[in-house]
Structure formats: C-alpha cells, structure tokens
Structure 1
Amino acid sequence: MNRRSFLTTVAAGTGTALTVSLAGCNALQSSALEDLDEVQPDRQLPVPTLGDGDVTVDVYEDLGCPACHQFQAEVFPVLAEEYIESDEISYRHYDFPVGAADESVGMANAARAVQSETHDGEDDPNGQFFGYKSAVIASDDWSDDALAELAGVVDVDPDVVSSALEDETYYPTIVADRERGEEAGVEGTPTVIVDGTIVDDPLDSDAVVSSIESA
C-alpha cells in the first residue's frame, strides 16, 4: 500500500477538509480498507502497551491532532500515575490518522520505525515508541528531516526513520490499526475505549477514570 492509496482510503469520497472541534479531530466516514488483504504479517508490529492490568484502555490517536496533544498533556499523566504504574490497566496505543495534519501518516510511520528498531518482542513490545511519540508531539517541525533527527532523542539512528518514511514501511500496521478502530466504532481522535466501551468525553480525565473504576 503506497501513500496515495492509503490517503485515498482514509478520506475516500469526502471532498471535504477534516475539521478540528472541541471533541477532537473528526474523520468523515471512510470506505472499507480494501488493501488490507495485502498486508504482510511479518510487517506487523506489537501493540504499544503500558501496564499489565486486567482492564484494557485502548486509545486511538492521530499524532498531528491537537486534541490528542491535549489528551497527552492532561489525561495521560493521570492514567500513568493512578493506573499504569500500579499495573491496574493495560494502556494500548493504536494509530488512527484522520489527516489532522499533513504529516499525520508520516508521524505514525516514523514512530513505528523507532518501535521496530528498539522493541524486543513480547518482552518489550514498545521499545522507545512512547519516548519518541512524546518527542514528536512536543516538536513544532514534523517534516521528514525533522522526524528523522528526532530519532536521536531516543538513541536511534536517524537513517532508520528516513528509510521508513521513504519506503512507507509501516503502513500495514497503521492500516490494521485503522480497521480495528473502525470495527470498534472509532470516528475521530482521540477515542478512548475502556474494556470495549467508548468514553463519551476522552478529554475529561474524570470521565475516563470513572469508566476505569466501573469496568
């Protein structure tokens, strides 16, 4: 799957710019991911996961989405302190690029390149994914060159990211994440799903905590 077909799949037939609202970054209904059947299993990566609790908290994000940045700054720290560090939840990241930024797909691809370079299978499915993700969100330059240079922040050779961006290496993982999200009812970012139930307001930490406590 190349970049053109991926982006066509994401926004097929909309003809309308994606919008950012108080609720997050919203994608208009996309068509079925027809190219998913061609995904090569050996190019799939583990789901980046923090914590090892029985309650699952699945978060679908577009790394270029301002509301996702707000979630990262205001809600994630609460979950980390109260639930992740104590292994009360399993916090799982999924990519769901909706075109919030022109670089959204490239950012996700770059982060997965870092994960692929640094993860250690089931023993460490994340590698430096979350560290790199934080660096990307904090940056104000998401050009290919800048994304490559940011790899140095987590001690990864920038060429690893440059090659992945040029070859679109991790699109299969991104596409698979989008399909999972669509099957779960995800329509925009961020979307938080606690044990299979979508949280109405993902930017309200109290609402997310209440869903976790009720699970």
Structure 2
Amino acid sequence: MNRRSVLTLTAAGASAALAGCAALFDASLPDALADVDPDPDQLPTPTIGSGGVSIDVYEDFACPHCRDFEADVVPELEERVLDPGTASYRHRDFVLPADENRSVPMANAARAVQAATGTDDEPTGQFFSYKRAVMEAGTPDDEELAAIAEETIGIDPSVVADALEENTYYPTLAAEWEAANGEGIDRTPTVVVDGESVEDPLDADGIVAAVEDAR
C-alpha cells in the first residue's frame, strides 16, 4: 500500500465527509491486546471475490459507521464489483480503544467462526455471514455472540465461547492493528482500493468508481 496516499487522505479526515470512528494512536494499542504477541500467520485474511482490483476495508465491529458500511455499502459492492469478478474485498480488523470491551470480543468471535468453518479451498469460511449477523445485532455480549454462531452458521456455540474465554485469536487482532497503524490508518471504516484511500468510505458509487479507475 502507498503509505503517502493513505496519510494524505488521513489528514483530510477531520471533514464530515470522512465520517468514522477514530482512535488516538499516542494512547497505544487497545489494552486487551497490549501484552499479546502479534501473529500475522495465525489466520488468513477474510476475502470475498477473486477480482484483480483489491478493496481493503479496515473495520471495528463495534463502530456504528462500520455497521452502516456493512448494511448499505457492502451489498452494493457485492452486486457491482465482487460478484462480477472485478474486485476482491479483504476484511482488515482494526479494533479501536473507544469500545474495546466489545470490539475485541466481537472480532475474536468472528475469527473463531472463520477458523471453525474455513477449509484449504475456502479459508474464509463463514466469516462474512457471521460478521453480518453480529453487526446487525449491534454490540452483542459474549453469550449472544455464541448464540449467533449457532443460529446463523449452525456451529456449536462452544466454538465461539471457548475462543472468547481463551482470547484465542488475539494474536491475529494484534497483528492486524500493527499493520494498519503502520500504514497510517486512523479511523474505521477506511477503504483502500488498489493502494489508494477512498475519500468517503460510505459512498458506494465512489468506491466503484475507484475500482473502475484501477482496472
């Protein structure tokens, strides 16, 4: 990714057009991940589609703007650039300190679902189906996160419950945070198309236009 292009748009982030949940990086990594050894190889990046243009989306499960993105923008992207095979959408976890009491467990639960349902051929598994259900639920507690896995994916709720109790995928979340921080990402959602940040992450037309320009 072009760090300069990300930082250029980051500087414009104070404008209303770049609505998002922001973190102050001088406050450090979220406390829940502070003593975790990052492991970028623990799980593969959840991905939709296989098109040649990359759409990297940095999200926090508890961020209301990310919920708006999931509800309003993702269906448009699926229809217009993912299903036709133009682009691939890669989820990047970027948990923020503002609501880490829910952000971290929600992201950890989603990665547990990915690990339980992924295969060698489809390593993402049911991550995105679970992610959508969790975001529709707002900020569910741990018991609800386990129940959603059973209700929407049909997997044993203990898969999620155990991961929540043992903080199983914290190394993935810590690695994702460090990578995003290193690229100058400072808010969620942030959408990066083929290495260039999109000015308004909630503008589906703008993202599609960026994909077309990158082809």
Report TM bin, short chain.
Answer: 0.7 to 0.9
Structure 1 residue aligned with 2:84: 86
Deviates more, 1:63-72 or 1:179-188: 179-188
> 1:26: how far off?
0.5
Shift of the 212–100 alpha-carbon distance from structure 1 to 2, 3 Å rule, reads farther
Structure 1 residue aligned with 2:149: 151
Q: Does the 8 A contact of 2:102 with 2:141 survive in 1?
A: yes
Find the residue that maps to 1:52 and give its secondary structure.
Answer: coil
Gaps (5+ residues) in structure 1?
1-20
> 1:35: how far off?
5.4
Residue-pair matches, total: 192
Shift of the 68–166 alpha-carbon distance from structure 1 to 2, 3 Å rule, reads same
> 1:34: how far off?
7.5
> 1:71: how far off?
0.7
For residues 1-215 of structure 1, what are the structure 2 equivalents within 5 Å?
Answer: 23-30=19-26, 31=28, 38-40=37-39, 44-101=42-99, 102-121=101-120, 123-140=121-138, 142-152=140-150, 153-215=152-214
Higher relative contact order (CA 8 A, sep 6+): 2
Q: Give the TM-score normalised by structure 1.
A: 0.83
1:101-134 deviation line (CA, Å, top 9, x unaligned): 331100000000000001003x101111011101
What amino acid does structure 2 have at the position aligned with 1:94?
R
Find the residue that maps to 1:176 and give its secondary structure.
Answer: helix
Output the CA distance in 2 between the equivalents of 1:202 and 1:24.
9
What amino acid does structure 2 have at the position aligned with 1:207?
G
Q: Give the TM-score normalised by structure 2.
A: 0.83
CA RMSD of aligned residues (A): 1.9
- State the identity as a percent: 51
> 1:88: how far off?
0.8
Structure 2 residue aligned with 1:5: none
Output the CA distance in 2 between the equivalents of 1:95 and 1:140.
17
Deviates more, 1:133-142 or 1:26-35: 26-35
Higher percent of residues as helix: 2
> 1:149: how far off?
0.8
What amino acid does structure 1 have at the position aligned with 2:212?
E
> 1:48: how far off?
0.5
4+ residue segments displaced more than 4 Å: 32-36
Deviates more, 1:93-102 or 1:182-191: 93-102
Q: Does the 8 A contact of 2:146 with 2:161 survive in 1?
A: yes
Output the CA distance in 2 between the equivalents of 1:69 and 1:141.
10
